[in-house]
């Protein structure tokens, strides 16, 4: 007699679709999904349209390719008791935006990447703006370096061995020892900086949002063109970002 199984084939096929799309940021069409999953097109059609109806997928009207929607972000947003991270962060983010006049963003770590979960656009005609759900590396920007810096020493070393340290601009730190030193400085001063290390002409300053057990929950940061946020302003803006991050932390554990 065969052992009983608790698997649900239809659910497994739906999860297979989601997992394949998670590895395809540009999306996939029905034929491509059918080929990769060894399923017939009719089955893929039913699965993808069911997921679209539930708003887990979105479809580009021109290319007809499916992509994961931002609904998955809402499922994983941290709750501290009955308190929502985004709901508590938004008033503080708006206040920081009003002070700096620059775009303010909030992000989480997902695996070996950061992901933007909320932003408040700056007040200048030329401002930084990205799509919610954008993923970014951990080594070449302020929020990523904050995620790295608030790990334990052993976890940090393992992460740096695992992630690709790509050279994105002449200022990107790609040497693991230098990045370890940078993370130590980030912890000491309480904020991280991005001196056009990910993209030319863009500077960022970030600080950690902490929980009641002193664990890192999220990262808050300001992004701006380098001409409006020169290196000489990093210290003063860094203090503003730290104060705002601390205020969010306080609202979460009140």
Is this model's pTM higher than 0.85 or not? no
Query: Which of 25, 15, 11 lies closest to 65, judged by CA?
Result: 25
* Phi, psi at 77, each rounded to 5°: -65, 135
Give yes or no: residues 96 and 212 share one domain.
yes
134 pLDDT tier (thresholds 50, 70, 90): confident
Distance CA 138, CA 159 (A): 9
- Assess whether pLDDT exceeds 80 at residue 5: no
pLDDT band at residue 56 using 50, 70 and 90 as cut-offs: confident
pLDDT at residue 106, as a whole number:
97
Residue 216: per-residue pLDDT: 94
Helix, strand, coil fractions of the chain, as percent rounded to 5: 45, 20, 35
CA distance from start to end of the chain: 57
Q: Are residues 98 and 42 in the same domain?
A: no
CA distance linking residue 248 with residue 86, whole number of Å: 10
Average pLDDT along the chain: 91
Mean per-residue pLDDT, 110-129: 92
Domain boundary among 47, 69, 91: 69
Number of domains in the chain: 2
Same domain, 166 and 95: yes
Q: Which domain holds residue 145?
A: 74-252
Between β-strands 135-136 and 113-120, what pairing exists: parallel, antiparallel or unpaired? antiparallel
183 part of a folded domain: yes
Residues 89 and 54 in one domain: no
> Would you say residue 4 lies in a domain?
no
Q: How far apart are CA 40 and CA 47, in angstroms?
A: 11
Q: 169: domain CATH number? A: 3.30.450.40
What average pLDDT does range 167-192 have in this prediction? Answer: 97
State the average pLDDT over residues 11-36.
89
Task: Point out the least confidently predicted range of 47-51, 52-56, 191-195.
Answer: 52-56
CA–CA distance, 194 with 196 (Å, rounded to integer): 6
80 and 196, same structural domain?
A: yes
């Amino acid at each position: 007699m065969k052992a009983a199984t608790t698997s649900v084939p239809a659910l497994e096929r739906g999860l297979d679709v989601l997992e394949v799309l998670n590895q395809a940021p540009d999306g996939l069409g029905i034929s491509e999904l059918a080929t990769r999953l060894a399923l017939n097109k009719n089955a893929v059609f039913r699965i993808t349209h069911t997921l679209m109806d539930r708003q887990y997928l979105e479809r580009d009207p021109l290319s007809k390719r499916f992509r994961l929607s931002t609904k998955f972000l809402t499922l994983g947003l941290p709750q501290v008791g009955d308190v929502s991270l985004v709901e508590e962060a938004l008033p503080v983010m708006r206040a920081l935006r009003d002070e700096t006049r620059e775009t303010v963003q909030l992000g989480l770590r997902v695996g070996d990447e950061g992901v933007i979960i909320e932003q408040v656009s700056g007040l200048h005609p030329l401002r930084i703006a990205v799509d919610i759900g954008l993923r970014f590396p951990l080594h070449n920007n302020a929020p990523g370096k904050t995620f790295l810096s608030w790990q334990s020493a052993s976890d940090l070393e393992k992460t740096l061995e695992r992630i690709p340290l790509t050279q994105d601009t002449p200022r990107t730190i790609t040497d693991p020892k230098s990045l370890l030193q940078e993370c130590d400085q980030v912890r000491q001063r309480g904020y991280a900086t991005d001196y056009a290390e990910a993209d030319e002409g863009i500077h960022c300053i970030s600080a950690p949002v902490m929980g009641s057990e002193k664990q890192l929950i999220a990262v808050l940061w300001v992004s701006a063109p380098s001409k409006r946020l020169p290196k000489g302003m990093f210290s003063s803006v860094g203090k503003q970002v730290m104060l705002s991050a601390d205020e969010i932390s306080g609202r979460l554990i009140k």
